[in-house]
Every structure is written in structure tokens, then in C-alpha cells.
Amino acid sequence: MQVVVGGAAAFLSVVALKQYLSRHQPKGCVVIREPGLLGCLPKIWQNFAKNTTHSNLVAYHEADGDTIYLHLGILQYFMPPLVITRDPRNVEHMLKTNFENYPKGGTMRNSMHELLGDGIFNADGDLWFKQRKTASQMFTANRFKNHIWRVVHKNCQKVLDFLSTNQEPVVDIFNLLNRFTLDSIGEIGFGTSIGSLENPVSPFLRSFDEAQRIVFRRFVLPGWRLFQLLGLGSESRSRYHMRSLRKYSSNIVEELSQTLHTEAGDSFVGLFMKGEPNSPKEFLTDLVLNFLIAGRDTTAQGMSWCLYLVMQHPEVEQKILDEVEAVCKGEALTYEKLKDLKYLEAVLRESLRLYPSVPLDSKTALQADRLPDGTFVPRGTLLLYNSYGMGRSKTIWGPDASDFRPERWLSDELKTPYENPVFHAGPRECLGKRLALVEMKTVMASLLKHVRLSLAVPPEQVLPDSAATLGMSSGLKCHVELRNP
């Protein structure tokens, strides 16, 4: 009798578990399964190690559809479902139509809190809204024309001076541009000269990159807190790098608090100090880190991938040079002339399409929902939109989707931000979009006018990074030749 009762209980438990899992698993999209107990997880880790994460996801999309569910084997019953889409209808639904249902969510905040804290890129709800409203005051027309342009122009000249006097046979342009954008956002946002163009070996710069690789891996590292506690894997140095960044940012806050009534009052932190004078120092430190990371990484990466493509297309480089000459007429580049560099902007937008600085962006479904393509996502699902995959979608861009063709941006049929979300879209569209384009157009026009760059390695050896943003794990090693020595 006991055996019968026990067997019945086990049967009912299995039925109940199946029903539970059925209600809590995505439906209506292709499920990607890999052999083994951990499903797709070992392959994800392998791609991280080889820096092939994004190309592998594109292959999945091409073979299995624009919305896919990566099954993580037995761990799937202890982790949120992971759904990735590159369907523009789903992206618009997430970022605009049903915006309130798709915040960053707990998984994102917990993984990145050590780095970003409660800053704008890791916040939801009122906390995010208040930060965005205050930060938007930094990007006025007057500040662009005066303060922002002055800083960008000055630091661009430092880059040109370095290349003009450099004696090394090979220069890592990616490293140089990261130093340019870090110094620029430091001065634009905080009135602080970080000095990385003068001191390229600062340990602070290394912590910047390592911290972002660490938090990116946490998304697919179950129990990463235990790894951190035991000092294993990528978590072995996490606390060191996070503390290094927070200490540096805390010092910036301290310095700004002493000079609030001078020009520092116009900084990001100054605006918050004036608007909310009782803001805790920890929160202001979060702000500094958020804007330093956003202002450095994405813009430097955008320029680097653009140069990588231009160096392989000399006809594009010549068109840029011709346009710069036609606009400047032999005179210096000015802020007012930037708007006339139409072809250069098309080149930048085309390179961002193929190499978006934020290749994957994650949201969490607060409530169960059905996406426009018919996919059902249960409550708690991690829903990612794949900008990198969208840039290579023939459905969106046509049969030449993988080709570098800037002319597509000069037509009248431009894509919506939900077809090309390289600056995000909807209420959380990137506040720094205009700043990024000013920096990129200034550096690209000035750099190509003064030097001729060529790759020092085969193109296939320039590799993306496995981090939250699309860096270059290999760097961008180039030969530099002055056009007018």
C-alpha cells in the first residue's frame, strides 16, 4: 500500500512540475538546445572565451529565426528564461509600446550594482526618471557650442600631436581613442582632467575594462557571488577593480563638492548637488562612474570600428577626405561646419549598424506578455534585443546587409530607431547621442585629414571583446603615416 501511495505521489509531483514548467517557459519561438546537462551554457562560456559571442548569436538567428530561447538545461529551472530577439516589432514593443513592463530588472541590477550602483544606467522607475531629467540639462545648445566643443577640439589636437611625434612602428589606435574619450567626458562632465592621454599606463584604465568584462560574464555565471567569495575565475580580482573605480570616482565627487560655486557647478555632479543638495556621496559616486563609462567606451568603440572598416575601403576614405576639403576649404574645422559633413555621418552610422557599441541590451518582463511576433514570455523572463544581429538582418537591410555601404544612409528611406537601435530607443534613448556624434565626426575628420592609417595585422585578427560594450580585445594595431610631414 505504501509503495502505491509513494508511486502516486511521485507521479503527481512530476505532473505538477511539468505543468509549472509549462506555464513558466517561453512559447512561440525556437528553443535552442545543446546536448549535456547544462544545455547552451557551456557553448556560451566557450564563445565568451573566444570572443565569438555575437557572431554565434547571428548564426542562431540565421538558422532558427529572429526570436530564440536559449535553454540552459537543468539550470533552466533555477534561472530566468533567456530570450533573445532581433525582430523590430518586438524591440518597439519592449522599448516603447509596453515600456513599463520591461525595466532593467533585478538580475541586471544585481549583476552590475557593484560597478554602476544606483546610477542612471542601472536604475528603474522614479530613480531613473529623476536622473535622466537632471542629466539632460548638460546637453543644451549653449554648452555644445562653447564648453563641449572646446574640450573635444583640444583633446583631438592632443591625439594629432601624439601621432605626429610618435616614433613607434605600430600604434594601438583603439587604446588611444579610449584615452581621448575618457579625458573628454571627464572634463565635459566633471571639470576634471583625467590625463590619460598623457599617462596611458594608469591602473585606473585597466580596471575600467576588466570591471566590465566581469559584470558581463555574471549574466551566465550561476552562483557568481560564490565564485567571488572563493576568488575563482573572472571574479578573483573583481573587488580590486570595483574598489579602484569607486575610489577614483569618489575623489572626483570630493573635489567637485569643494568647487561647486565655480565652473564645476555645471558638471553632471554639480547639477545634482544643486538640485538635490542632500544627495548621499555614494549616489554621486555612482553618477560619476555611470557617465565616465558611458562617455568613454561607446564613443571610442564606435570610432575604432569605423576606422577598421574605412581602412579596408579606400574609396570611402577618399570620399570623406573630399567632403572635409569641400566643407572646410583649407581652413580649420569648426563646430558650425560639423553639420555639413553629411557623408562622414553616413559612414559613422553605417559602421555603428554593423558594430553597435551596445550589441545586446537586457530587460526583464515584470508580467507575462505576448510579443508582436507571437512569442509568449513568462513573468521574470530576461528579454534581450540583439542590435548586433539586427545590423546583419537581411529582413531589415536587404540582401547586402553584411556589406559596408554608407550610401544607404543618404537615401530618403531611413530606418526607425527600432530597426536600428544603436542609440537605444523610446523613453530611454541615449542622452549622449549628440555628444557622441560631435566627438566622432571631429576626430574622424581631423584624423583622416592629417594621417593615413593602415592595419598592421590581417582584418580577421581584429577581434571584438566579451564585455557589456563592443570593444576590441585585440586592440586596433595600425601603421601611421603623416599626410603632410
The residue assigned the cell 533555477 is 78
Q: Give CA separation, 148 vs 96, 183, 186, 242, in Å.
A: 30, 12, 11, 29
Q: Is there a contact between 290 and 122 (Cβ–Cβ < 8 Å)?
A: yes
Helix extents (H) in 329-426? 342-354, 387-390, 394-397
Q: Is there a contact between 81 and 382 (Cβ–Cβ < 8 Å)?
A: yes
Cα distance between residue 309 and residue 351, in whole Å? 7
Q: Give CA separation, 37 vs 9, 71, 74, 75, 360, in Å.
A: 26, 10, 6, 8, 26
What angle, 0 to 180 degrees and rounded to 10, lies between the N-to-C axes of helices 342-354 and 281-310?
A: 100
Q: How many CB atoms lie within 10 A of CB 256?
A: 23
Cα distance between residue 246 and residue 248, in whole Å? 5
- Angle among Cα 161, 162, 166 to the nearest 5 degrees reads 120
Cα distance between residue 355 and residue 358, in whole Å? 9
Residue 24 has which C-alpha cell?
513558466
Cα distance between residue 337 and residue 328, in whole Å? 7
Residue 241 has which C-alpha cell?
577593480
Please give the order of strands across the beta sheet that includes 360-364: 30-32, 67-70, 82-85, 382-386, 360-364
Tell whether 430 is in a known binding site: yes
Cα distance between residue 201 and residue 146, in whole Å? 31
Cα distance between residue 142 and residue 161, in whole Å? 28
**Size of the chain in residues:** 485
Q: How many CB atoms lie within 10 A of CB 372?
A: 16
Rounded to the nearest 5°, which phi and psi values hold at 312? -95, 0
Question: Taking the mean position of all CA atoms in its chain, how far away is CA 117?
Answer: 17
Cα distance between residue 368 and residue 114, in whole Å? 29
Q: Give CA separation, 12 vs 3, 9, 17, 18, 396, in Å.
A: 14, 5, 8, 10, 47
* Binding annotation: 430
Q: Which residues are annotated as a binding site for heme?
A: 430
